[in-house]
Amino acid sequence: MASVFGHGIVGFTLSKVIDNKNLKWLMLAAMFSAILPDFDVIGYRIGIPYASPLGHRGFTHSILFAVLWSLFLMFTIGRKHKLTWFLVVFTTTISHGLLDAITTGGEGVGFFIPFENSRYFFPTRVILVSPLSIKSFFTDWGLQVIFSEIK
Ligand SMILES: [Zn+2]
């Protein structure tokens, strides 16, 4: 993954670019949605292998997940501004996988799961892969990740 900070900043920025109504809850939902796909690391603790469709960078990083999550939020808390909610949540959720696909490590991203289980990277990979643990993030490695994201 790119860092949680990098994903959150992208979510915040996309909400500000797309949402001309300045919806505060949407901004928070966008930041959360940009981070949400990495909740799949919980799978490590229950024995789901990394390369599984439900493993890290699997289904939660897919286009289908972004669509389903966007529809869920649009029909629950975004009912008054459906199109805006859908666009912001979809772009911020899928931005997570797009950023992961330009990182230097880990498995690729399963954009097409469950229809096709291959993992993908983009040809250009410029963001250092972020450590998964908080403890490891606050080391020199985490600092290098932040610098690569700023670039
Ligand atoms: Zn990720």
Determine the structural domain holding residue 83 and report its residue range.
Answer: 4-150
Count the domains in the chain. Answer: 1
- Residue listed under structure tokens 């950023």: 99
Count CB atoms within 10 A of the CB of residue 64: 14
Instruction: Tell the burial category of 60 from Cβ atoms under 10 Å away from its Cβ (0-12, 13-18, 19+).
Output: buried
User: Which pLDDT does position 1 carry in this prediction?
Assistant: 59
Cα of 139 from ligand 1 centre, angstroms: 20
- Average pLDDT per run of 10 along the chain, which is 151 residues long? 79 87 91 95 91 95 98 96 96 95 92 97 88 73 75 75
Cα of 81 from ligand 1 centre, angstroms: 28
User: Which pLDDT does position 142 carry in this prediction?
Assistant: 74
User: Which pLDDT does position 21 carry in this prediction?
Assistant: 84
Cα of 93 from ligand 1 centre, angstroms: 10
DSSP 133: S
User: Which pLDDT does position 63 carry in this prediction?
Assistant: 98
Cα of 135 from ligand 1 centre, angstroms: 18
User: Which pLDDT does position 106 carry in this prediction?
Assistant: 84
Q: Does residue 103 sit in helix, strand or coil?
A: strand
Cα of 149 from ligand 1 centre, angstroms: 14
Cα of 22 from ligand 1 centre, angstroms: 27
